[in-house]
């Protein structure tokens, strides 16, 4: 539960306009502002697709590399 609490603290900090020159603005909150405050849905959609591709690449990297760093007890070919 602690990561969710820190994430909500960060988003509440960014929603306020007290940061100088948008120094604490996260990508997702900027995407939201572009879409719903500035009404640039096409640009926000392109930003969302880029975010999706980045998350997809990270997910595929983790799934493909998991065989190296995850140990399954009783797996065939285990060293024990």
In percent, how much of the chain has pLDDT > 70? 71
Domain ranges of the chain: 2-69
Which carries the bigger pLDDT value, residue 8 or residue 27? Answer: 27
pLDDT of residue 12: 60
**pLDDT for 54 beyond 60:** yes
The structure tokens 């760093």 sit at 69
Question: Model pTM greater than 0.75?
Answer: no
Query: pLDDT tens for residues 17-50?
Result: 657 888 888 999 999 999 999 999 999 999 999 9
pLDDT of residue 1: 54
């Amino acid at each position: 539960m602690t990561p969710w609490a820190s994430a909500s603290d960060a988003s509440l900090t960014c929603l306020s306009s007290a940061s100088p020159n948008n120094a604490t603005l996260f990508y997702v909150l900027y995407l939201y502002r572009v879409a719903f405050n500035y009404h640039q849905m096409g640009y926000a959609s392109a930003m969302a697709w880029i975010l999706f591709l980045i998350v997809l690449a990270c997910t595929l990297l983790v799934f493909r590399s998991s065989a190296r760093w995850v140990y399954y007890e009783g797996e065939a070919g285990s060293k024990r």
